[in-house]
Structure 1
Amino acid sequence: MKLIILCCSLILMAVSFFASSTEQTITLKLGKPSTQDIPKNHYILTLLEKSFAKVNVKLNIAYSLEPMNTKRILEELTRNDDVNLAWLTLPNSFAEQRYLIRTSYPIYNGLHSKRLLMVKQSRLGEFSDIKTLEQLKPFIALQKQSWSDYYVLKNNGLTVNGDLSYESMLKALDEGLGDYFPRSVTAIKAEIRKHPQYNFVIEPHIMLQYDNYYYFYANENNKAIIELLEQGLTKLADSGELNALYEHYYRDVEDGLNLNNRRVFNLKN
């Protein structure tokens, strides 16, 4: 009997040692945000942590030493250098040219395709009579040239100043050097709250909309990262946790925005 117990103990120890020795750890190298004033994306970080936990992978997150805008992150991801994962909105053909692969689950359920206008409260009246996209075109939109929205706005004939930093765009909007700042439905309320020194509000009637789906991307040489992340996302979706997580962070985002009754200007992407 003692021999049997001893053998069982040795087997359990061996199994335990084997499991611990083969436990996988992945380090995600993310681009450090170039704009410190934009609120931290807790939804993305939680989504990553929960997805990899579902496939029993320990996750380390490391940020680049230097701040990076979207353009720089894309360059690093293409070179498979200082960044090995990013969440981006890219045309499929463009991603293929850069040898990038992605997950299949849209991160924001399409909500990120809706843009509202951040404006100075004293100028709200100037937007009240705008009924068509043509009437909006002479107004100056503020947007960074390295952001995907910049090219969408320009290609649809809108006037855009893309030469300023995020902080400078806020100052330009306050000083009347720009007329409006299109921001995602998911972020605009938080951004206005974060800058109470400016008297900014959400324009109540207009919404810009275009196909703009975010996915997690990696270089094709890091296929294993995407495969594990896809497996984790699938498990979250099957258990209902993926939708629950989205609801936790964004269930109140539409409150007070009257999205269903706005004048929607559909833009070509």
Structure 2
Amino acid sequence: MMKLYNFGVLWLLLLPLAFTSFVHANEAIVNLHLASPSTTDTPRNHYIHALLTLAFAEQGKQVNFIYSIRPMNKKRVVEELSKASSINLAWLSLPANSYPDLHHTSLSIYQGLHGKRLLIINKNQQPRFAEISTSAQLKPLIALQKQSWSDYDVLIRNGFTVNGELDYKGMTRALETGLADYFPRSVSAIAAEVTKLQHQNLMIEPTIMLQYPSHYYFYTHKQNDALLMELEAGLLKLQQNGKFEQLYQQFFGEKERDLALSSRKVFHLN
């Protein structure tokens, strides 16, 4: 059986194959050319690895993950995927019909989890937030986001007050000093984030959740539709046999329970 490789020099050796999802239908190896994370301290996505591995296993395939040498941010990922060049698969949340050359799978990878936002606040402000029962009460308070982040546009369109001028360190400092009121962050990352900020007087606000539609799908260039069809078939099998939900609960179920998502006041945003 073909030996499985990962990263490094193999990228150079297999570059001519970067545009090919899998060479022949009877081969048991699927080469997935993925973008390296944009920052060196961002770990590889173990949930995505596990999901892809299971989905292709349902189709009788093994997966060979090959990462780009150069890191890519989201903009670069979309550009490279649109050219059908160095990568052949990515997981993205994109506006519908915004990239006609890119096709995507039908199942929401994170089941809408990335559209759920909790608030990092100053610990001294907890009683104030506990009294908030409507989004109208929250809107005059100053939220923090970068203007280049998708949440910034969502909050602005929904009438929230947002400071988008600060870098990350400046945001946490603004919360500490009272220059801002809250910092919406993804449910999937907020616990680890606050742990890193434990030396500051910050906490996860325990009663409020912002939620808006945000779904991630696997995307590829239309030239790689054979790859996409294979992946789609595997994902649907995982959904039908319950393994999709089992994997999601394995990675995110405890996190959702620890953050008490089901008992929070949910403010739905467009």
TM-score, with normalisation over the residues of structure 1? 0.79
**Secondary structure of residue in 2 paired with 1:115:** strand
1:106 aligned partner: 108
CA distance in 2 between counterparts of 1:92 and 1:200 reads 36
CA distance in 2 between counterparts of 1:178 and 1:105 reads 37
Could you report, residue by residue, the CA deviation over 1:152-192 in whole angstroms, capped at 9, with x for unpaired residues?
11211223344555565445544555432212222222322
- The correspondence for 1:81, drawn from 85, 89, 107, is 85
Q: One-letter code of the match for 1:85?
A: L
**Secondary structure of residue in 2 paired with 1:130:** coil
Q: One-letter code of the match for 2:67?
A: Y
CA distance in 1 between counterparts of 2:226 and 2:168 reads 35
2:34 aligned partner: 30
CA distance in 2 between counterparts of 1:229 and 1:254 reads 27
Asked whether the equivalents of residues 69 and 146 of structure 1 are also in contact (C-alpha less than 8 Å), the reply is no
RMSD of Structure 2 on Structure 1 (CA): 2.7
1:191 aligned partner: 193
CA distance in 2 between counterparts of 1:31 and 1:163 reads 28
Instruction: Select the structure of larger CA radius of gyration.
Output: 1
**Secondary structure of residue in 2 paired with 1:254:** helix
Q: Does 1:67 align with 2:47?
A: no
Q: Does 1:155 align with 2:138?
A: no
CA distance in 2 between counterparts of 1:189 and 1:195 reads 10
CA distance in 2 between counterparts of 1:171 and 1:42 reads 31
- What is the Cα deviation at residue 249 of structure 1? 1.1
TM-score, with normalisation over the residues of structure 2? 0.78
- What is the Cα deviation at residue 21 of structure 1? 10
CA distance in 1 between counterparts of 2:164 and 2:69 reads 25
- What is the Cα deviation at residue 38 of structure 1? 5.2
Q: Does 1:50 align with 2:54?
A: yes
CA distance in 1 between counterparts of 2:173 and 2:197 reads 11
Question: Would the alpha carbon gap of residues 86 and 213 (structure 1) be closer, same or farther in structure 2, given more than 3 Å must change?
Answer: same
> Which runs of no fewer than 5 residues in structure 2 stay unpaired?
1-23
**Secondary structure of residue in 2 paired with 1:255:** helix
> Which runs of no fewer than 5 residues in structure 1 stay unpaired?
1-19
Runs of 4+ in 1 over 6 A off after TM superposition: none
Asked whether the equivalents of residues 37 and 43 of structure 2 are also in contact (C-alpha less than 8 Å), the reply is no
Percent of aligned pairs with the same amino acid: 49
